Amino acid sequence: EIVLTQSPGILSLSPGERATLSCRSSQSITSSRLAWYRHKPGQAPRIFLYDASKRATGVPDRFSGSGSGTDFTLTISRLEPEDFAVYFCHQYGSSPYTFGQGTKLEIK
C-alpha cells in the first residue's frame, strides 16, 4: 500500500501570500494519478486538482499542481480568505487508493 506523507502539518500564512503544500509518496505513483482536495469543516470535500496538475472544473488558476514519481506539490499563488482549510492529497494509481493526512492552511 502506498503511504502519502503531507507536509507541513500546519501552514500559517496571510491572505495574499503564496502557499506551497507537499505530498510525498512511499512509492512512485503510476501516471501521476494524484489529486488534491480542500475540506472545510461541515462541508463536503471538494476536488481541486487531478492527475497531479489538472485543475478541476471551476478552480481558479491561482491553484497549480506539479510533480511526478514520489514528490508532488500544490501551490496557491495568492491566498484568498476562502482558501484557508485542510488540503489532502490522494493517489489513485495503485489499489488500494490512499490519502495523505492533510495540511491545515490557517490564517496567520
* Residues at the site binding another protein, with contacts judged by CB under 8 A: 33, 35, 37, 42-47, 50-51, 56-57, 88, 90, 92, 95-102
Q: What does each C-alpha distance from 84 to 27, 44, 72 come to in angstroms?
A: 29, 15, 20
- By beta-carbon proximity to another protein, the closer residue of 50 and 79 is 50
Identify whether the C-beta of residue 17 lies closer than 8 Å to the C-beta of residue 77.
Answer: no
Q: How far is the CB of 77 from another protein (least distance, A)?
A: 23
Considering the complex, state which of residue 14 and residue 57 has its C-beta at the smaller distance from another protein. Answer: 57
Candidates 24, 20, 9; CA nearest to 79 is 20
Q: How far is the CB of 88 from another protein (least distance, A)?
A: 7
Nearer to another protein, 16 or 44 (CB): 44
- Least distance to another protein, CB of residue 78, Å: 25
Amino acid at 46: R
Closest CB to another protein among 79 and 91?
91
Q: With H, G, I as helix, E, B as strand and everything else as coil, classify residue 13.
A: strand
- Cis amide prior to 8 (ω within 30 degrees): yes
